[in-house]
Copies of this chain bind each other. A is one copy, B any other.
Amino acid sequence: MNAIYKQNLMAAALLCALAFATTIARAADALPSWNDTASKKSIVAFVEKVTKEGSPDFVPPAERVATFDNDGTLWAEQPMYFQLAFALDRVKALAPQHPEWKEKEPFASLLKGDLKGALAGGEPAIFQIVMATHAGMTTDEFEKNVRDWIATAKHPKTKRPYTEMVYQPMLDLLTYLRANGFKTFIVSGGGVDFMRVFSEKVYGIPPEQVVGSSGKLKFELRDGKPVLVKLPEIDFIDDKEGKPVAINKFIGRRPILAFGNSDGDLQMLQWTAAGSGARYMGVVHHTDAEREWAYDRKSSIGRLDKALDEAQAKGWIVVDMKKDWKRVFAFENK
């Protein structure tokens, strides 16, 4: 072993020791935005038992897969799904290129500022709005649209960028899980191309760990340069029964921990629960009308009804935002 090699080794050892010290420090105040209630304790107890070598509940790192819904679980979803807000803003931006929209629903109402009228057409209307704003362009062009929008758009209530409307306790949880060897995934009904633009920066979740709904794509050579064109056709809806299907298709491994907040997450939670060994199923319950919103069984957005019953019947963890979270958003003065 020569001298330079030895020096490198010592330097590396020092760096590693520092990294190790940081991990220790982080573990000491894991989940700082959570109150010290049963929900937090259940998370810590679960993580400690599955990571303890020799424990009957030990899970090797490669199998520590954790999946999270996005809308209403990692970030807010009121007064409307943020991706719909993006689509509405894009309709306005694109209107000059589409004079025919002045006479055509749902665009006509939308451009007059009558959102209710525009959405009166139900799912077909929403489908038209989504396709007009999410298809007919390349994946690169779409990514740029989302990037530009997310950098400037503000939430109507808080006037904050949408990327600040993320739940700090859930960011704590993602960080804590990763520090304990978990691989964290998003499994959301939201558009995969939409979420990937900000998932790495906002959640620390890289694009290849984001699973979502998608439209069909077409590979084309344009002047010899390959592009992927977004077609106005649905490829896959990653919601309800679609979530376990997508987990199998994209991840190929059953999660040992899953978090959702609505009936759209029920099957993902059932699928997670049905594996062998230790499991953690969590439901974020929106109970805080003051700091966030309070809604569940009767909400058209993020309805939590069947999944709440099943969570209670099966002893899954129901996180009470009001009681369990010290703060909801990072921008709160707490």
Tell me whether A94 is interfacial, beta carbon within 8 Å: no
Instruction: Please determine whether B24 and A17 come into contact, CB atoms closer than 8 angstroms.
Output: no
Interface size of A in residues (CB-CB distance below 8 Å): 51
Q: Give 1 or 0 for each of A54-65: 1 = CB within 8 Å of chain B CB.
A: 000000001001
Instruction: Please determine whether B196 and A226 come into contact, CB atoms closer than 8 angstroms.
Output: no
Q: Which residues of B contact A228 (CB under 8 A)?
A: 244-245, 248
Chain B: minimal CB distance from A244 (Å): 5
The copy count of this chain in the complex is: 2
- Which residue on B lies nearest to A9, using beta carbons? B17
Instruction: Please determine whether B14 and A226 come into contact, CB atoms closer than 8 angstroms.
Output: no
Chain B: minimal CB distance from A333 (Å): 33
Report if A250-B208 is in contact (Cβ < 8 Å); known contacts: A14-B13, A17-B13, A20-B9: yes
Q: Which residues of B contact A214 (CB under 8 A)?
A: 249
**Which of A208, A210, A251 neighbours the largest number of chain B CB atoms within 10 Å of its CB?**
A208
Q: How far is the CA of A183 from the CA of B274 in the complex (A)?
A: 30
Q: How far is the CA of A33 from the CA of B267 in the complex (A)?
A: 47
Tell me whether A74 is interfacial, beta carbon within 8 Å: no
Q: Which residues of B contact A78 (CB under 8 A)?
A: none
Tell me whether A32 is interfacial, beta carbon within 8 Å: no
Q: Give 1 or 0 for each of A234-257: 1 = CB within 8 Å of chain B CB.
A: 010000011011001111110000
- Which residue on B lies nearest to A250, using beta carbons? B250
The 10 closest A-B pairs by CB, nearest first: A16-B16, A207-B252, A219-B241, A12-B20, A13-B17, A13-B13, A196-B252, A208-B251, A217-B245, A226-B270
Interface residues of A (CB under 8 A from B): 5, 8-10, 12-17, 19-21, 24, 62, 65, 139, 183, 185, 192-193, 196, 200, 206-210, 214, 217-219, 221, 225-226, 228, 235, 241-242, 244-245, 248-253, 267, 270-271, 274
- CB<8 Å pairs between A and B, sample of 5: A13-B16, A16-B20, A192-B249, A207-B252, A208-B250
